[in-house]
Structure 1
Amino acid sequence: MFNSRRGALLAAVCSAGLICGLAVGPASAETLAEAIALAYDSNPNLQAQRATQRALDENYVQARSGYRPTLSASVQGNYSESRTPGGVPNAAGGRTFGPNEDNSGSAGFSLTQPLYTGGRTAAAVSAAQADILAGRENLRRVEAQVLATVITAYVDTRRDIEALRIREENVRVLQRQLEESKARFDVGEITRTDVAQSEARLAAAQAQLSQAQAQLAISRANYAAVVGQNPGDLAPEPSLAALLPGDVSQAFDVAEAASPQIRTAEYVQQASRARLAGARAERLPSLALRGTLGWSGQADPLDTDEYSRSITGAAVLTVPLFTGGLTNSRVRAQIERNNADRIGVETARRTVLQGLTQSWSQLIAARANIGSTDEQVRAARIAAEGTRQEQQVGLRTTLDVLNAEQELRSAELAQVSARRDEYVAATNVLAQMGRLEAPNLTPAVTRYDPKTNFSKLRFTWGWVPWEEPIALVDGVLTPKPVEKPMEAAPAAPK
């Protein structure tokens, strides 16, 4: 696995550095939708988070085991030897010397069925459910981070491919300009200074070309690392306009209901509230049924027919009377933890508000920058062409032509970067809103549903039918977690 990934990264470097724009080996992720689908199925960070969520689901099973019976078996063998100095008096009036040996064996089963735990088990179950809901939101957050990284790597690669094309075109133009300058110098139309200026600009353009090749290699390596496939000839990215709201106030409303950061904080607060109920339940009595079945007798020689058998049954009521202040201290500590988690909801809300405001402002600025750079490129192209024509009739110098070409290339590079920045800003807005999910971006992908694994654990080995009524009685006073609804996102871009 490591060797194959390393090979993909090396291919990215070689491809960008030597044969720019051509893929090394077959590449399946040619569109952004395909790249997202590939990363959604194979990205290691996302896969690890899904495994973490499945492990978290087991906390629910472990918590519900408090309603279920426990059965244990024990087997014990004893041997004893005693020696008394001077011997032990015997029936014949003498004394017996030597060790006094004895042995015994026992075996038994013990069955305990809780009937009422004072709400302790119900609180643990509620806390586990809330933790699972928080884990699902954390999974959504990690998914959004991975998809944002995929999109950024995709548009960065496309930007750097276009930037490399611009740099290559600049080198070709400056080479022609240098050849023309040398020809004009040979016939005495210009001076050696004009030739030196052309040579200097060409050398700088070649250095910039090398930098562009290196940057493209870096972007391709980033793409291969997050997507798992070396990029090929990438298609233009689709528009995200269908997923974006009309104004920032609508974005705030969506984020309030769908942001994974806010929803995680709310579920964490619900979990701590359930744990507070569990701490208070430590003051209440608990009731359980207990039965034992045992056999005991001599172990050597073993004769099970002579073993005695005992059967006991009991209803055990446990009432905590005095714990040295431990229970009260735990309650007070859990109250403060719940207060902190409740405050954490507001902290998460403000953080999302801040991040969404920043992303939205960057989106507006990037959109305005696209219009400005488009106009800049149009004007710079006209100016460069006019300067070349005016040079032919002696109205412009070689330096004027070189400067006009430099301004045109700078404008083209700014235009490419502006379009990349606008797309990344739109991606960040969707991430802050909680709508940056693979099914929202590419309908063809099969959504990973963490509820599927949880549903399998509802009735697992160890489940008994009478745990349901026990759970109802035990959870009368325990707060239950409430899953927040979330509206479906608009149709994915085509």
Structure 2
Amino acid sequence: MFTCRRKGLLAAACVAGLASGLAATQASAETLADAIALAYDSNPTLQAQRATQRALDESVVQAKAGWRPTLNAQTYYYYRQYRSPGVAAIGQTFDTTKQDYAVLTLSQPVWTGGRVGAAVSAAEADVLQGRENLRRVEGQVIASVIQAYVDVRRDQEALAIREENVKVLQRQLEESKARFDVGEITRTDVAQSEARLAASQALLRSAQAQLAVSRASYAAVVGQNPGDLAPEPSLAPLLPDDVDKAFDVAEQNNAQIRAAEYAADATKARVAEAKADHMPSVSVSGNLVWFTPASPFRTSDATREIVGQATLTVPLYAGGLTSSRVRAQVERDNAARIGIETARRSVLQSVTQSWNQLLAARANISSTAEQVKAAEIAAEGTRQEQQVGLRTTIDVLNAEQELRSAQLSQVSAVHDEYVSSASVLLAMGRLEAANLTPATATYDPKTNFDKLRITWGWVPWEEPIGVADSAFTPKTKEMPREETVTLPAADAAKPEQ
């Protein structure tokens, strides 16, 4: 199946390289929202991160198992042969004992000194950190979809410009040959037209190859080959008015910062867990022992013994091991706290870079629009002036080259502006499926976590034991997030200008 799929992707890429690349394929993502929705449901990187998060949810269940009872059963066969010293070996009779034992042991922790409570708190912080990592991966995948989408559209438009340029230069060459035949121009003018046409054809082949590369990248991240892609919607409704607002939103909503803060909460809880090794613990246990002679085996001879006990364990001396673990965990907590500032500075840098790239791209759009307008007028004027002998063939060729260069610059400027907008949203923490495609059902990691609250092994008395055991341990609380800012339906349907 994988081989067939790979061949299909390669075949589509090759067709894109040889043809114009504008033909639609069946079941293709027609809009950017379609591409994001498809990648959101099927992208392997995102699917793997969700599976990793579900595995991380189990760490809370495993930590809570420290409050739950354990039940073990053992059975064994006992054989003993005894001979007293000094007894004659000949005709000697040995004292032999054979017994079967079965033991059922039930143990219930009552108080662990906060050790289990801190472990549960640390596991909950790990889960919250994992959710932020999932948000970060989701944003990166969506950014890759947007990059691939606009790359394909840019390369399709660039290919169309290259094809039009070849057609214009072919007509120019035909015109030059006709004028050469009647003696209006020299052989040099014809050679200049031929050289420009050959260069344009080479650039056309390069544009076809670049489109094939972009289509392959699109297929890799989205999961299917691109067809006739619709213009991408404007992201302006999701962008702030100024960079200061972008900083404020990123401070509250960026997944990298939030993950670092949850990581610090986890290390703080683990400091308490390490310190709990100094505290006493209380547990109760009971044993049910059943044994009977193995030979001859008779259930009527079975003996049953029930033993119950309460155990108080007080750590007195561990050779400095516990104190060393506490110091090590304190330093890990310090490193995690410093990591929050590292994450803030990294996000600040990302917002600043993306915002300035966005401003530059917007300025380039205005400049290239004026450049294209002026180049069109210049190219048309040069062609008309050539007809009356005021311009040479090389003047016309240069004017055409400047026009195509301006058109390509405009296409690149529009592409860069959209990618920069997405980068700003990614740094702010707004590049999510819920914001871009509100009609798509989103994956909620809390659903799986809530299912694990009562699972196999849960006992009703674990809740009061947990409350008492966690009375003096740090608590992990979920931090508030910015409310969902969705892309309006009207703006989603309107192409980017």
What letter is aligned with 1:375? E
Of 158, 164, 170, the match for 1:169: 164
Query: 2-side partners of 1:54 and 1:172: how far apart?
Result: 57
**1:228-284 C-alpha deviation (Å, 9 max, x unpaired):** 011100000000000000000000000000000000000000000000000000000
1:472 aligns with 2:467: yes
Query: 2-side partners of 1:216 and 1:231: how far apart?
Result: 11
Query: 2-side partners of 1:266 and 1:12: how far apart?
Result: 45
Offset of 1:29 from its aligned partner?
A: 0.6
Offset of 1:484 from its aligned partner?
A: 0.7
Which residue does the alignment assign to 1:208? 203
Secondary structure of the residue aligned to 2:285 is strand
- Asked if structure 2 preserves the Cα contact closer than 8 Å seen for 1:167 and 1:205, the reply is yes
Offset of 1:17 from its aligned partner?
A: 1.6
Query: 2-side partners of 1:309 and 1:12: how far apart?
Result: 76
Alpha-carbon distance change, 8 to 253 in structure 1, aligned in 2, over 3 angstroms: farther
- Asked if structure 2 preserves the Cα contact closer than 8 Å seen for 1:23 and 1:231, the reply is no
Offset of 1:20 from its aligned partner?
A: 1.9
Offset of 1:83 from its aligned partner?
A: 7.4
Offset of 1:305 from its aligned partner?
A: 1.8
Query: 1-side partners of 2:365 and 2:219: how far apart?
Result: 28
What letter is aligned with 1:88? V
Which residue does the alignment assign to 2:131? 136
Of 102, 107, 110, the match for 1:107: 102
Query: 1-side partners of 2:56 and 2:283: how far apart?
Result: 28
Of 319, 323, 327, the match for 1:328: 323
Secondary structure of the residue aligned to 1:15 is helix
Offset of 1:25 from its aligned partner?
A: 3.9
- Asked if structure 2 preserves the Cα contact closer than 8 Å seen for 1:114 and 1:289, the reply is yes
Secondary structure of the residue aligned to 2:379 is helix
**1:27-55 C-alpha deviation (Å, 9 max, x unpaired):** 33110000000000000000000000000
Offset of 1:79 from its aligned partner?
A: 2.8
- Asked if structure 2 preserves the Cα contact closer than 8 Å seen for 1:11 and 1:24, the reply is no
Which residue does the alignment assign to 1:32? 32
- Asked if structure 1 preserves the Cα contact closer than 8 Å seen for 2:24 and 2:228, the reply is no
Query: 2-side partners of 1:204 and 1:300: how far apart?
Result: 101
Which residue does the alignment assign to 2:19? 19
Query: 1-side partners of 2:174 and 2:96: how far apart?
Result: 114
What letter is aligned with 1:74? Q
Q: How does 1:54-453 map to 2 (within 5 A)?
A: 54-81=54-81, 88-89=87-88, 95-97=90-92, 101-453=96-448
Offset of 1:3 from its aligned partner?
A: 2.5
Offset of 1:82 from its aligned partner?
A: 6.3
Which deviates more from structure 2 when the two are superposed, residues 359-368 or residues 12-21?
12-21
Secondary structure of the residue aligned to 2:76 is strand
Alpha-carbon distance change, 42 to 4 in structure 1, aligned in 2, over 3 angstroms: farther
Secondary structure of the residue aligned to 2:381 is helix
Secondary structure of the residue aligned to 1:282 is helix
**1:284-307 C-alpha deviation (Å, 9 max, x unpaired):** 000011100001232232222212
Query: 2-side partners of 1:19 and 1:99: how far apart?
Result: 97
- Asked if structure 2 preserves the Cα contact closer than 8 Å seen for 1:11 and 1:230, the reply is no
- Asked if structure 2 preserves the Cα contact closer than 8 Å seen for 1:384 and 1:404, the reply is yes
Query: 2-side partners of 1:100 and 1:404: how far apart?
Result: 116
- Asked if structure 2 preserves the Cα contact closer than 8 Å seen for 1:12 and 1:24, the reply is no
What letter is aligned with 2:400? E
Query: 1-side partners of 2:22 and 2:4: how far apart?
Result: 20
TM-score of the pair, normalised by structure 1 = 0.96
- Asked if structure 1 preserves the Cα contact closer than 8 Å seen for 2:274 and 2:322, the reply is yes
What letter is aligned with 1:68? R
Query: 2-side partners of 1:15 and 1:99: how far apart?
Result: 92
Query: 1-side partners of 2:286 and 2:96: how far apart?
Result: 33
- Asked if structure 1 preserves the Cα contact closer than 8 Å seen for 2:434 and 2:484, the reply is no
Query: 2-side partners of 1:250 and 1:305: how far apart?
Result: 83
Query: 1-side partners of 2:270 and 2:241: how far apart?
Result: 42
Q: Percent identity?
A: 68
Offset of 1:12 from its aligned partner?
A: 2.9
- Asked if structure 1 preserves the Cα contact closer than 8 Å seen for 2:117 and 2:473, the reply is yes
**1:102-149 C-alpha deviation (Å, 9 max, x unpaired):** 322100100011110000000010000000000000000000000000
- Asked if structure 2 preserves the Cα contact closer than 8 Å seen for 1:63 and 1:124, the reply is yes
- Asked if structure 2 preserves the Cα contact closer than 8 Å seen for 1:15 and 1:22, the reply is no
What letter is aligned with 1:125? V
Which residue does the alignment assign to 1:48? 48
Query: 2-side partners of 1:64 and 1:389: how far apart?
Result: 84
TM superposition outliers: structure 1 runs of 4+ over 6 Å: 82-85
- Asked if structure 1 preserves the Cα contact closer than 8 Å seen for 2:21 and 2:211, the reply is no
Secondary structure of the residue aligned to 1:313 is strand
- Asked if structure 1 preserves the Cα contact closer than 8 Å seen for 2:118 and 2:473, the reply is yes
Query: 2-side partners of 1:471 and 1:277: how far apart?
Result: 15
Alpha-carbon distance change, 131 to 443 in structure 1, aligned in 2, over 3 angstroms: same
Query: 2-side partners of 1:265 and 1:236: how far apart?
Result: 37
Query: 1-side partners of 2:255 and 2:97: how far apart?
Result: 68
Which residue does the alignment assign to 2:457? 462
What letter is aligned with 1:481? T
- Asked if structure 1 preserves the Cα contact closer than 8 Å seen for 2:13 and 2:213, the reply is yes
Which residue does the alignment assign to 2:495? none
Which residue does the alignment assign to 1:483? 478
Listed as ranges, the gaps of 5+ residues in structure 1 are none
TM-score of the pair, normalised by structure 2 = 0.96
**1:8-37 C-alpha deviation (Å, 9 max, x unpaired):** 421331221222234474033110000000
Secondary structure of the residue aligned to 2:236 is coil
Query: 2-side partners of 1:4 and 1:469: how far apart?
Result: 57
Query: 1-side partners of 2:426 and 2:305: how far apart?
Result: 66
- Asked if structure 2 preserves the Cα contact closer than 8 Å seen for 1:5 and 1:225, the reply is no
- Asked if structure 2 preserves the Cα contact closer than 8 Å seen for 1:23 and 1:230, the reply is no
